[in-house]
Structure 1
């Protein structure tokens, strides 16, 4: 299997996992009397667009959201009227609208942790040659909020908005190891339900990463997500009501063997996280300890 096919297969698996998890979560939450199902369905349609998607038809949105096509047709009509989707007359397909972009841009622009972290992340990327990413959990994925890379020709194609799997990526494993045990148990149950066949292997990786994290504050993925990618990650607590995040360093396996991740990259990654948390604490006059 070629590297391109490896990456494509991994993306396809992640896309299917996101679709399945979103549908299950919507079905479960619908039992809550405070839950507004129509709103949730509209947001699921918007969430069906992923990095790299330019246009999607109603039937593609129905497949991804697991909603009836008639429901999706009404939702896309409404979202188009509100400016969250734009329809392409020639094809009848939809693309994300400017109203959606305004929401995303406002969120990212006001996410202080990105502003504080970016120069430190860029310095680490330049020093190590790795792709340095800040990510947060979105259902059963890790979503890239910021991404910095060096000028090296050999690099990964992931960027802000990219999604990586929770169970097999270093970032996802670091986050699973850092959250409360009850939350970790619930997330692992959801991961198992999505892929019973591969669950024993995924669980072994998560359990090993959790033990590693307790010893050294970092988790690793050495070809577990994509065969030719090695990565190390640790948790970052931004405070101010924001959820736990992960900071990761990743690169091509041939340039980032496991020994280098442990001996060289790990200490620098931990130092960078401590500095980000310290600066965030200073910004808000909080105790950085």
Structure 2
């Protein structure tokens, strides 16, 4: 293995300080990095010249716009399905139930990826299927973690139409389920889109901490029982966190 370039490593250590501090003076960078002032000054000049740092009018430094440009390139080129698929496949193989990935489209969520259970009894879901945000775990987990203003506006305008025996049609009950999801980090549904089914879903976040998708485990309620849900909850949340991290999310 080739020896790492020490100058590059030290420069990255300087830049990493800006993960915690929005602005830093030369003296603050020296103190936080523990490097000699002459070395820090030299690196700052180079980083500023390349656009990685920019000097403010008060003499402090902040990250340069090149990071915004590079970040947008990464975001544009990152395919959620491509990132999620291997993690979804591992999850399906572990729990042996169907795994779904949904994203928001207006007042609905659309299934953009699905891995079927290996059991002969399966759910009726397919890529491209739509469902309202209020019905089903994978949809409601997205609703639960929307910005408060968007969530409130949705709840005011939506009409809760029954789709299966367990569909929530009372707005007070829906608000209770949303609150539970926010507290536990998962949404659970029973026969909300299809009778005799149970699903559990967790949120997926992007680099900005914004929810971008929901991932769920779903199956017939004779297999996805209350006894299994506690174990599935941990497994699912770990999978959702893995996908989120690959999208740039920094878990708090």
TM (norm. structure 2) is 0.61
Say if 1:168 and 1:202, in contact at 8 Å, map to a contact too: no
Change (3 A) 1:239 1:287: closer
Q: Secondary structure at the match of 2:112?
A: strand
Structure 1: 5+ residue stretches without partners: 1-109
Question: Is 2:226 aligned against 1:273?
Answer: no
**Residue 146 of structure 1: CA displacement?**
1.1
Change (3 A) 1:168 1:204: farther
**Residue 145 of structure 1: CA displacement?**
1.0
Runs of 4+ in 1 over 3 A off after TM superposition: 239-243, 286-289
Q: Secondary structure at the match of 1:274?
A: helix
For residues 54-92 of structure 1, give each alpha carbon's deviation from its aligned partner in whole angstroms, at most 9, with x where no partner exists.
Answer: xxxxxxxxxxxxxxxxxxxxxxxxxxxxxxxxxxxxxxx
Q: Tell me the distance in 2 between the aligned counterparts of 1:200 and 1:161.
A: 23
Structure 2: 5+ residue stretches without partners: 1-76
Other-structure match for 2:157? 190
**Residue 181 of structure 1: CA displacement?**
1.2
Change (3 A) 1:268 1:130: same
Name whichever structure is richer in helix by fraction: 1
Say if 2:135 and 2:168, in contact at 8 Å, map to a contact too: no
Other-structure match for 1:47? none
Work out which of the two has the higher radius of gyration on C-alpha atoms and give 1 or 2: 2
Question: Is 2:81 aligned against 1:114?
Answer: yes
Say if 2:88 and 2:239, in contact at 8 Å, map to a contact too: yes
Other-structure match for 1:32? none
TM (norm. structure 1) is 0.54
What does 1:215-234 correspond to in 2, within 5 Å?
Answer: 215-234=183-202
Say if 2:97 and 2:118, in contact at 8 Å, map to a contact too: no
**Residue 217 of structure 1: CA displacement?**
0.3
Number of residue equivalences = 173
**Residue 204 of structure 1: CA displacement?**
3.8
Q: Secondary structure at the match of 1:172?
A: helix
Change (3 A) 1:200 1:164: closer
Q: Tell me the distance in 1 between the aligned counterparts of 2:195 and 2:250.
A: 41
Match 1:124 to one of 91, 96, 102: 91
What does 1:134-173 correspond to in 2, within 5 Å?
Answer: 134-173=101-140
Say if 2:110 and 2:129, in contact at 8 Å, map to a contact too: yes
Change (3 A) 1:242 1:201: closer
Other-structure match for 1:246? 214
Q: Tell me the distance in 1 between the aligned counterparts of 2:182 and 2:247.
A: 24
